[in-house]
A and B are shown apart, each in its own frame.
Chain A
C-alpha cells in the first residue's frame, strides 16, 4: 500500500497553527497578566474558588456582560410572582438563579435570604396545618432548617461582597431572630461594626447582646472604645452630616456606658471620662 503524504497536510497545518498560537500566548503574557490581575481584582465573580460557580459566572459575565443586570432583574420580578403564590421550591430556585446571573447587587442577596429565613418557615408551618396544629418542636426544627439554608446562601454572598457590613448584619439578624442564638449574633454584629462601612447600630446591638450574655465587662470596654470614635458634631469638611451624627447616637452610647458602670459597681475614679 502506498502512503500518501498529502493526507497529512491538514494535520501539519493544524499543528503549525496550534504551535504558533501557543507561542503567541507566551509572548503576549507580559501584556495580558498585569491587565488580567487588574480586571480580576475588581470582579469577585471572576475569582471564585468553586469551578461550578466560576463556570456560570464566566459565561454570564462574558456573554451577557452588563445585560445580566436586566436579565437578573426580570427574574427577580418572577421571583416576587412565585413568592406571592407561596410556591416554596420555585421561589428558592429563582432566588438562586437571580444571584447566579448577577451576584453584584446586595439587594438580591439580602432580600433572598429574608424570604428563605422569615417567609418560608411560615409557609411550611401553614402547609403542615397551621401554628396551632404543628408542635412547637417541629416549628423550631423548620425555623432552624430554613435559617441554615439562608445562612449558607449568605455565606455564598461573601464570595462576591467580602467587605459588606450589611451582609454581616443580615447574618446576625437571622441568628438572633430565627435561631435565638445570641452568641453567634453578637459575633456577626461585631464583624459588621468593625468594617469601614459598618452601621453604628451594629456596634450598639453587639454591646447589648454582650450585656444580655452576661459579658458586661466586654460590653463596657467595647462601648468605651466605640464612644471615642463616634462623630459628635456636624463637620462638613470631614463629610460628617447631621444624619451621621444622629445615626451615631453618641449620647445613647454614653448613657449605656453609665448604666454598665452602675451594674459593674465601678469606683468613681475608674469610670469613663468622655
Chain B
C-alpha cells in the first residue's frame, strides 16, 4: 500500500469508480430491492392505515407513518448494505486484487462509503418523493372537501418534508460511516451488523447519559460520561419529523446546523475507517 501511495497520487476518479461499482453492486442485491419495495409499499399504504389513527391529524399521521417507514427500513438497509458490500470484497478476495493495484486504501474506503451513501440516497429520494405526492394528493382532496378548514392555506410545509428527507439521508450517511469503521477492524459480517445496530441504539440514547451524569458530584465519573457523550454522535438531533404539519415547521438554521453536524461526522468516521483499515492485514 505504501508503494501505491508513493507511486500514484490520490485520485478522485478512482474513488468514483469504486463508488460506482459499490452502487451497482448494491442495487443488484436482493436486500436493497426488497427493503426498498417494502418501504415504498408501506409509505403508499399510509393512506389505508390512516383509518387506524386515533391521535393526530390525518395529514400528520401520513407524514409520521411515511418517515417511520423510512427511518426503520433505511437503518436496516444502511447497516446491512455497508457490512455486506465491504465483506463481499474481503471474503471474495477481490479486495486483495484491488488493493494490489495502485489504489489508495482511502480511495477504497471512501469509494465504498460514497457508494452506500448513493444507495441510501436513492432510497430516501424515492420514499420522500412518494410521501410528498401522497400528502399533496390527500391535502388537495381535503381542501376540496372542507375548504373552510384551509382558509389560511395549506397546512403542510412541503419544504419541511424535503428537509426531513435530506436529514434522514445524512443520518444514514453517518450510520454508514460508523458501520464502515466497525467493518474496518471486524473479522465477520455478522459482528459488524450487530455492532452497527448497537451503535445506532447508543447514538440515539447518548443524550440520556449526558443528562443523567451532568449533575453527578464525583468529578472523574462526570468527566468520563461527558467524554463518552462527545465520542458518540447524537442521533436524536435528526428527529425533526414531529414538527411537520404543526406550528411553524422546521427552522432552516436548525436544518443547516444538523446538516453540517452530519457532514462533519461522515468525514471524521470515514477518515477513521481509513486509518483503522490501514492497520489491517488483509
Closest to A67 in B: B68
Please, which residues of chain B bring their CB within 8 A of the CB of A76?
Answer: 54
Q: Is B129 interfacial (CB 8 A cutoff)?
A: no
Are B236 and A46 neighbours in the complex by a CB distance under 8 Å? yes
Closest to A72 in B: B55
Interface residue? A35 (CB, 8 A): yes
Q: Which of B4-12, B20-28, B94-102, B200-208 contacts A (4 or more CB under 8 A)?
A: B200-208
Residues of B contacting A: mostly: helix
Do B207 and A64 touch (CB < 8 A)? no
Contact with B along A88-115 (1 / 0, CB 8 A): 0000000000000010111110000000
- Complex: chain B residue closest to A26, CB-CB: B230
- Does chain B have a CB within 8 A of A225? no
Closest residue to A30 on the B side, CB-wise?
B257
How long is the Cα–Cα vector from A179 to B171 in the complex, in angstroms?
50
| CB of B234 to closest CB in A, whole Å | 6
Give chain B nearest CB distance to A90 CB in angstroms: 19
Complex Cα gap A31–B264 (Å): 10
Please name all residues of chain B whose beta carbon is closer than 8 Å to the beta carbon of A32 when the two chains form the complex: 234, 237, 257, 261
**In the complex, which of the residues B205, B207, B229, B264 contacts A28, with contact meaning CB atoms closer than 8 Å?**
B264
Contact B272 A35 (CB under 8 A): no
By DSSP majority rule, is chain A's interface helix, strand, loop, or mixed?
Answer: helix
Q: How far is the CB of A162 from chain B (nearest CB, A)?
A: 15
Is B227 engaged at the interface, CB distance under 8 Å to the other chain?
yes
Whether B68 contacts A10 by the Cβ 8 Å rule is no
Is there an interface contact between A65 and B268, defined as CB atoms closer than 8 Å? Answer: no
B52 contact from A20, A31, A73, Cβ within 8 A: A73
Between-chain CB contacts (< 8 Å), 25 pairs: A17-B181, A17-B275, A17-B276, A27-B264, A32-B237, A36-B236, A39-B239, A46-B236, A58-B236, A59-B204, A61-B236, A62-B200, A62-B236, A63-B72, A64-B68, A65-B68, A65-B239, A66-B63, A66-B71, A67-B68, A69-B55, A70-B53, A104-B55, A105-B55, A107-B54
* A residues neighboring B (CB under 8 Å): 9-10, 13, 16-18, 20-29, 31-32, 34-36, 38-39, 42-43, 46, 51, 54-55, 58-59, 61-70, 72-74, 76-77, 102, 104-108
